[in-house]
Amino acid sequence: MSRIGKRPIAVPAGVTATVEGQTVTAKGPKGELSCVVNDEVLVKLEDGAISVDPRDNTKDARSKWGMSRTIIANIVAGVTEGFEKKLEINGVGYRAAMQGKNLQLALGYSHDVIYQVPEGIQIATPKPTEIVVSGIDKQRVGQVASEIRKFRKPEPYKGKGVKYADEVIVRKEGKKK
**Dmax over Cα atoms in the chain, in whole Å?**
71
Q: Tell me the torsion sign for CA atoms 21, 26, 32, 38.
A: negative
Q: Output the pLDDT for position 176.
A: 86
Q: Output the pLDDT for position 174.
A: 87
* CA 68 to chain CA centroid, nearest Å: 16
Q: Which domains does the chain have, with CATH numbers?
A: 3-80 (3.90.930.12), 83-164 (3.90.930.12)
Q: Output the pLDDT for position 3.
A: 83
Per DSSP, the three-state class of 53 is: strand
Q: What is the pLDDT of residues 28-73, one digit of tens each?
A: 999 999 999 999 999 999 888 999 999 998 999 989 999 999 999 9
* Phi-psi label, residue 5: left if phi above 0, alpha if psi -120 to 50, beta otherwise: alpha
DSSP-H helix ranges across the chain: 3-6, 59-80, 138-150
Residue type at position 34? S
Q: Output the pLDDT for position 1.
A: 64
Q: What is the pLDDT of residues 9-20, one digit of tens each?
A: 999 999 999 999
CB 82 within 8 A of CB 132: no
